Amino acid sequence: MKKHLVQSCLLALVLCAGFGCSTPISKKLNRLDLGMSQQDVKRILGDDYIAKASTTDSEGARLQLWEYTDKKTQAAYRIYLKDGKLAQWGSPENMAFPTLNLPK
């Protein structure tokens, strides 16, 4: 009986660790790459985002800020696009646009 209880507890712990630490959005974020098109980002993360801001920088580049919310954890993740290309992503720090540099 005691052995069965220990095995059950270990199984529950492994399942919680496996499913609790990684959320669907965080797994999808790992598939992103700098310079991806806006369409590629939508294909990976989906259309369930909020367009938080859009502006043009001093050089005329179009900057966009999208926010995705993980439905499981309610954590927010920001996507920054420069001229329709993925320039930065991650957890929000503030609403201001960072300096966005695309790889050459």
User: How high is the pLDDT of residue 103?
Assistant: 55
**1 found inside a domain:** no
**53 found inside a domain:** yes
Q: Is the pLDDT of residue 13 over 50?
A: no
**54 found inside a domain:** yes
Instruction: Tell which wins on pLDDT, 100 or 11.
Output: 100
Give the C-alpha separation, 10 to 102, whole Å. 46
5-9, 19-23, 68-72: lowest mean pLDDT where?
5-9
Whether residue 49 contacts residue 68, with contact meaning beta carbons closer than 8 Å, is answered with: yes
**Boundaries of domain holding 73:** 20-104
Give the C-alpha separation, 67 to 93, whole Å. 12
**7 found inside a domain:** no
**102 found inside a domain:** yes
Q: What is the mean pLDDT of residues 43-52?
A: 94
Percent of the chain, pLDDT > 70? 66
Q: How many domains does the chain have?
A: 1
**2 found inside a domain:** no
**13 found inside a domain:** no
CATH of the domain at 71: 3.30.1450.10
Spell 7-27 as b/e; 16+ CB within 10 A means b.
Answer: eeeeeeeeeeeeeeeebebee
**75 found inside a domain:** yes
